[in-house]
């Protein structure tokens, strides 16, 4: 079975902090994705990566950056956390662009 692991289920940070959300997959998948999920807005794509050191902006990249130094790991960075980034963050990976995406358990991030 595909395993996508997110480093934290719950995280509380303060405004202005630099926040790192880590995601690791164990299936040698090429593609990795970061989404955020908000009530009434559904899931929205922040960034994705189709190869090591490659990244593409999704629909809402502002205020975020990503890093993919190794194939199995995709990090989401909040450069200077703000309260409007309080959300559920979901990482996903897929073998190919046309394969199903498999998700991690999510990180519920609160910015105070």
Partner 1 sequence: AQKITQTQPGMFVQEKEAVTLDCTYDTSDQSYGLFWYKQPSSGEMIFLIYQGSYDEQNATEGRYSLNFQKARKSANLVISASQLGDSAMYFCAMREGGNQGGKLIFGQGTELSVKP
Write out the residues near partner 1 by the rule CB under 8 A: 9, 31, 33, 40, 42-43, 45, 48, 50, 56, 58, 88, 90, 92, 94, 96-106, 108
| Shortest separation between residue 91's beta carbon and partner 1, angstroms | 10
Cβ-based nearer residue to partner 1, 16 or 100: 100
CA-wise closest residue to 70 among 30, 103, 19, 20: 30
Check the CA dihedral 4-70-77-29 and report its sign: negative
Cβ-based nearer residue to partner 1, 20 or 103: 103
| Shortest separation between residue 76's beta carbon and partner 1, angstroms | 16
**25 strand-pairing partners:** 4
Evaluate whether 52 touches 70 at the Cβ level (below 8 Å).
yes
């Amino acid at each position: 079975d595909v395993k996508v692991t997110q480093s934290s289920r719950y995280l509380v940070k303060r405004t202005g902090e630099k926040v790192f959300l880590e995601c690791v997959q164990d299936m040698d998948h090429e593609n990795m994705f970061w989404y955020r999920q908000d009530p009434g807005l559904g899931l929205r794509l922040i960034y994705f990566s189709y190869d090591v050191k490659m990244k593409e902006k999704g629909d809402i990249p502002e205020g975020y950056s990503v890093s993919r130094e190794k194939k199995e790991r995709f990090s989401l960075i909040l450069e200077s956390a703000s309260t409007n980034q309080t959300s559920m963050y979901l990482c996903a990976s897929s073998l190919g662009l046309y394969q199903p995406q498999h998700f991690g358990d999510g990180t519920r991030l609160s910015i105070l």
